[in-house]
Structure 1
Amino acid sequence: MEQPPLALDINLTPEQRQSRTFIRGHILFAFGIVILLYLAWLLGKELMIIYVSALFAAVLMPIVIRITEFKFRGRHPSRPIAIVLLIVGVALLLGLFFMVGLPPVLRDLNQFSTELPSRIPGIVAKAKKLPIANRLGVDAIASRAESALATTASYLVTALPNWISHLFDILTALFLCIYFMLEGEHAYSFFLSLFPPAPRLRLDLTLRRAELKMSKWLIGQGLLMLILGVSSTIAFGLLHVRYFLLLGFLMGLFNLIPVAGGVFTITAAAGIAAVDSWPKMLGVIAFYVVYINIENAYLTPRIMSSSVDLSGLTVLIALLCGTALAGITGALVAVPTAALIAVLLDEYAVHKDNSLG
């Protein structure tokens, strides 16, 4: 008698039962993956906030641990106290910047946006004196610059409410980061418990190494940005370049982007200096050439020697991908994420031949 299509498992051989169980397991697994991907798509914004908070908590934890190692009146501060001290220190630095450093930069930015439309005719007149002015199409470039300025100004006005609406997300990420630093060890231990003992130990050592590397990279990159910003501001001020505070701030900020950031900012600074005089432009270019040689020969090897060795191309690709995926937030976490991936690839994917060397 022919077996019905929907036969019970008790009527199946052990091999058939095992095969059916195997198929069911894979179907349920695929179904679960589809559900998880759908939830990730629905909760994309929230997952991004959680990831950013966890990443910054991991980057800041070595600093918190270093604070707990100091002695205050013979006692080591606990982790909550160390976190509070870190938050207070960051808040004081930000408050000092917003009260002392930011107002002059905003004043220069406002003056620049006000004066630039009236200066465009003078810039065009100087550009027309160049031998290749006809080939460059100076008049067309000037008209495009004027329309771009108008578009940028209108965008800044219309985008202001969107920036304000992101304030809640920033505060949420800040509080989540604090909670990750306080209680992240429990979530980290649970994550490691999902792996067998031997791979768990290897993964733990790898992630802790990545955490330390990312923290060192962040501190080192911050120091390089600060040094370039301060030295550029001083040099442009001595050269009497217009808007030198704004230009120095942009020089330090865009130092995060390798090559392209420096080219963009030095071109802007040289162009603004050239409006006044050619010697000022030459002075700006000379300063940047000297600084780049000092940074490559002295500053970078000493400050970034213990950080993750990311090439300029890797950093640039990470920034482009991060910006495309999540805008400014993606750009903010792009390089630390690339550093984390680099450490994981170095541990699990790179095949090292110890016989060579």
Structure 2
Amino acid sequence: MWRIRVAREDDETPQAEDEALEPVAEDHLAGRFGRPGPPLDRRNPFMIGLLGGLGLAVAYGIFSGLRNAAGILVLIFIALFLAIGLNPAIVRLRRWGVPRGFAVAIVALTVVALLTGGIVALIPPLVQQTTQLVENVPEYIQSLQRNQTINELVQRYDIVNRVSSALNAGTVGNAVGGVVGVGRVLAGTVFNMLTVLVLTIYFMASFDRIRETGYSLVPASRRVRVRLLTDEILTKVGAYMVGALSIAVLAGASTWLLAVILGLAYPFALAVVVAITDLIPQIGATLGAVIVSLVGFASSLSDGIVCAVFFILYQQIENYLIYPNVMRRSVKVSDVAAVVAALLGVALFGVIGALVAIPMVAAIQLIMREVVVPSQEAR
């Protein structure tokens, strides 16, 4: 009996030790701070409301950030678009053996020279005409005073007293505020132009690095195809820029020749105005034609009629002969697609949308032809 009891005690001792060690092993497996509890119930109404509120707050924060930075983002987009358009010139210089740094410097200096030439051509006429207007104001007033009809109207409607009462402190303050506002607009325009110029130079200098960085973010299995499609799109954007600049230069040269033949004042300034406005699709050429025609009518009636007839004929030739042929060879976009894209671009994004509309249509056509249509045919 004693041996049996001893055996039973020997049998119970290991079991007791195992039972005592089980909580220690569980704590060791669960970690230092105990076993983790069950996961949170994502279908809990409180969790759904909390996550929804956080999502709305993040979305509103992103929207507010984009809205506040919209002006800077537009400048960055314009600079990047210009860098893409000027990159073919850099590539051509590099093929001629020019290092990339020197090629970027040559293109940048050429752009700066063109901008400086345009400003130098436009500022002197404006300053001179404004100075002549200020100097001739006393003569205009005296001629009005000598006119008997004008004097009768002034006395009948008591214009002098009304003008004097209108020129109070508030009116003068509003006028000064308007002048200050115009100065701010001019300063902001100059700042935006310098910002776009500097960003364009930086983008041109690091264009290859930016492009390769973008390609590295694409999965390796699709990188070759994405590279080929993107390079083709960038080539079309550059071709569009070259074609648009060529058409604008041709319009400016034609205007300069017309102004020289008619003897209009400041022919180079008029040519610069027409070339710049011709870069704006749909309405740019008409705007430049109206400006030159007004200058022609200010010179003489015959000069104004000649300018109006010339621009009517030239716009027909440009719209139906020059522009379609240049864009068909460079970007390969149909006339209907180009017109519709320009109209939609102006309606959605203004002048910027009109400038990038045709390259965007070319890119969409390429993606549709090479990606969407083969995918649909494979189904």
SS at 1:177 equivalent: helix
Match of 1:46 in 2: 72
Cα offset for 1:249?
A: 3.5
Counterpart pick for 1:83 among 87, 96, 104:
104
Match of 1:144 in 2: none
Match of 1:140 in 2: none
Counterpart pick for 2:341 among 291, 314, 333:
314
Counterpart pick for 1:66 among 92, 111, 117:
92
Cα offset for 1:69?
A: 0.7
Give the conservation status (yes or no) of the 8 Å contact 1:106–1:246: no
Any gaps of 5 or more consecutive residues in structure 1? 1-7, 18-22, 71-75, 119-150, 324-330
Q: How does 1:1-357 map to 2 (within 5 A)?
A: 11=38, 33-70=59-96, 76-99=97-120, 101-103=121-123, 105-106=125-126, 110=130, 158-241=181-264, 246-274=269-297, 277-296=300-319, 298-304=321-327, 305-307=329-331, 309=333, 311-323=338-350, 331=351, 333-349=352-368
Cα offset for 1:79?
A: 1.6
Deviates more, 1:228-237 or 1:156-165: 156-165
Q: Paired residues, what number?
A: 298
Give the conservation status (yes or no) of the 8 Å contact 2:236–2:331: yes
Give the conservation status (yes or no) of the 8 Å contact 2:108–2:201: no
User: RCO higher in 1 or 2 (8 Å CA, sep ≥ 6)?
Assistant: 1
Q: Which amino acid aligns with 2:341?
A: T
Any gaps of 5 or more consecutive residues in structure 2? 1-34, 43-47, 141-173
Larger Rg over CA atoms: 2
Cα offset for 1:339?
A: 3.6
Cα offset for 1:92?
A: 3.3
Identity fraction in percent: 19
Q: Which amino acid aligns with 2:106?
A: L
Give the conservation status (yes or no) of the 8 Å contact 1:257–1:315: no
Give the conservation status (yes or no) of the 8 Å contact 2:237–2:359: yes
Give the conservation status (yes or no) of the 8 Å contact 2:90–2:100: yes
Normalising to structure 1: TM-score of the pair?
0.64
Cα offset for 1:215?
A: 1.6
Deviates more, 1:102-111 or 1:186-195: 102-111
Q: Which amino acid aligns with 2:104?
A: I
Cα offset for 1:172?
A: 3.6
Alignment RMSD, CA only?
4.4
Q: Which amino acid aligns with 2:92?
A: R
SS at 2:217 equivalent: coil
SS at 1:311 equivalent: helix
Deviates more, 1:153-162 or 1:314-323: 153-162
Normalising to structure 2: TM-score of the pair?
0.61
Give the conservation status (yes or no) of the 8 Å contact 1:225–1:253: yes
Q: Deviations over 1:178-223 (max 9, x none)?
A: 3323334344333333333344433332322222222222222122
CA distance change for structure 1 residues 207 and 337 in 2, over 3 Å: closer, same or farther? farther
